Amino acid sequence: MPLASSPLPELELLIGGHSIRGAGEPRPSIDPASEQAWTVVPDATPGQVDDAVTAARAALRGEWGRVPPRERGRLLRRLADLIETGRDRLIAAEIRDNGKTIREVTAQYSLIPEFYRYFAELADKLDGRVLPRERPGVLNYTVVEPIGVVGAITPWNSPGLQLAFKAAPALAAGNTLVVKPSEQTPVATLEQAALFARAGFPSGVVNVVTGPGEVGAALAGHPGVDLVVFTGSDLTGRKVGAAAGFALSASVLELGGKSGQLVFADADLEQAVVGVAAGICSASGQTCIAGSRAYVESSIYAEFSERLARRIGELRLGAPEDWSTEIGPLAFAAHRDRVEGFCRTASEEGAEVLVGGRRPERPGFFFEPTVIAGVTNATTLMREEVFGPVLGLTTFEHEDEAVQLANDSRFALGAGAWTTDLARAHRLTEALEAGTVYVNNYRLASYQTPLAGFKDSGVGFENGQESLAHFTRRKAVWIDFSGRQKDPAST
């Protein structure tokens, strides 16, 4: 992987088709597995955000605005091909950026081209409709247009996939983009952004500005941005939504989660153990959909908790680029410390750590996958998003109680149920408050399936053809061909 042995290059912003040095102070990017600097990333300023928005607006009004939908689809398919052929470099960048294992990043980069291909096929299918004729001699119809300039603010946990979530529908609909990746993991986004020009997208269609929160704030509140699409914590999401609202921009906010998994006595126990473990340990728990609360029917709790703790305790921590590694490091030091703090608080509140709960004695921002029992919905661990490999585990007595416990959260992104009772499965899909409900699986995703959060987990949704409604606007047209216009002054 080419980036693995590179010296410390200084990366640049992408504005209007040009690579530009950040006007802020450049910062080293730290490899979370080694704690060593491996590249230097730029910091933009609010002024450079303004330059990027101006470039995006110019592209929208210029060459890109005249590109027909079928050609937009062709460019997206070309981009998908370039990502596919160049994925080794992109995978290497993301591993060094955030420490995710090569297993998971490779799987994501097998999927990312399919996002672009899926939306490429929808680019020429965004049509309006002719409305029923209510007035003689008047034609009334609607036209679908791009919403305009899209500000995309992406998180540090899956930067490549999150860019595809936002760029694929935005470009299919004919919009332009200003992307602000997390300051913790901008490299994979800059690497992928370079491919847009190679695919044939005109200058200014995709722009990337990097840097800390003030850069994201400048983008979210910019009056030249028509839609802000954000993925991140609910706390930051509230600020982004408020800034966009003040600018009268639309917003789509995919926020945090505290998803519950319900394990019933009739479940396939082995499958449930594997699924619950994967639901909290995949990506080292650094995923909004993580199944971080587990409720187990009391009659099987002893056996399930013992088997789950043993399985999670066997997971192999190691170098992210090693295919045998099952758990990589957390993305940065402050986050590792935050996760550790949640475990400490749980112990202080009387919970019992069944396995894990510590940082291992090795370089890197590693944290042992953890199961904590003796918790209730009143404890901090079960209320707040940890965003790490830490599972809270407790019991329930019957189905109604299980649903009540799962729904007792301000978050409602995902929920899971493990049962072989078909009738119960259908009851749960209706009763559970969540944008996505999994039955006998967990954390599946597809470009064709909407991802939505209820309650504090978000506003709007991403993926699926339904998401294109966020990236378009409908214009109503009235044409009077009757030749009998009524004089408003006449009686």
Q: What is the pLDDT of residues 106-146, one digit of tens each?
A: 999 999 999 999 999 999 999 999 999 999 999 999 999 99
Asked whether the predicted pLDDT for residue 486 surpasses 80, the reply is no
Cα separation, 331 vs 181, whole angstroms: 14
Shared domain for 358 and 337, answered yes or no, is: yes
* 243 plus 338 within the same structural domain: no
Token duo for residue 161: 């996939």
Tell me phi and psi for residue 255, to 5 degrees: -110, -155
Q: Is the pLDDT of residue 491 over 60?
A: no
CA 22 to chain centre: 25
Q: Is the pLDDT of residue 479 over 80?
A: yes
Asked if residues 176 and 204 have their Cβ atoms less than 8 Å apart, the reply is yes
Rg (CA), the chain: 24
Q: List, for residues 285-343, the tens digit of each pLDDT value.
A: 999 999 999 999 999 999 999 999 999 999 999 999 999 999 999 999 999 999 999 99
What does the pLDDT average to over 474-487?
90
pLDDT at 6: 47
Predicted pLDDT at 1: 42
Cβ 257 vs Cβ 456: under 8 Å: no
**94, 104, 183, 254: the active-site residue:** 254
Instruction: Tell me the residue range of the domain where 265 lies.
Output: 260-439
Domain co-membership, 229 together with 272? no
Tens digit of pLDDT for each residue in 424-458?
A: 999 999 999 999 999 999 989 999 999 999 999 99
Active site residue 343: no
Domains in the chain: how many in total? 2
Q: Is the domain of 365 the same as that of 296?
A: yes
366 inside domain: yes
**95-109 pLDDT, tens digit each:** 999 999 999 999 999
User: What predicted TM-score, i.e. pTM, was given to this entire model?
Assistant: 0.95
Tens digit of each residue's pLDDT (9 = 90 or more) over 155-205: 999 999 999 999 999 999 999 999 999 999 999 999 999 999 999 999 999
Regarding whether 169 and 274 lie in a shared domain, the answer is no
**Residue 367 counted as domain residue:** yes
From 94, 191, 281, 288, active-site residue: 288
Concerning whether 288 is annotated as a catalytic residue, the answer is yes
CATH number at residue 124: 3.40.605.10
Residue 7 within any structural domain of the chain: yes
**209-257 confidence digits (pLDDT tens):** 999 999 999 999 999 999 999 999 999 999 999 999 999 999 999 999 9
Q: Do 376 and 334 lie in a common domain? A: yes
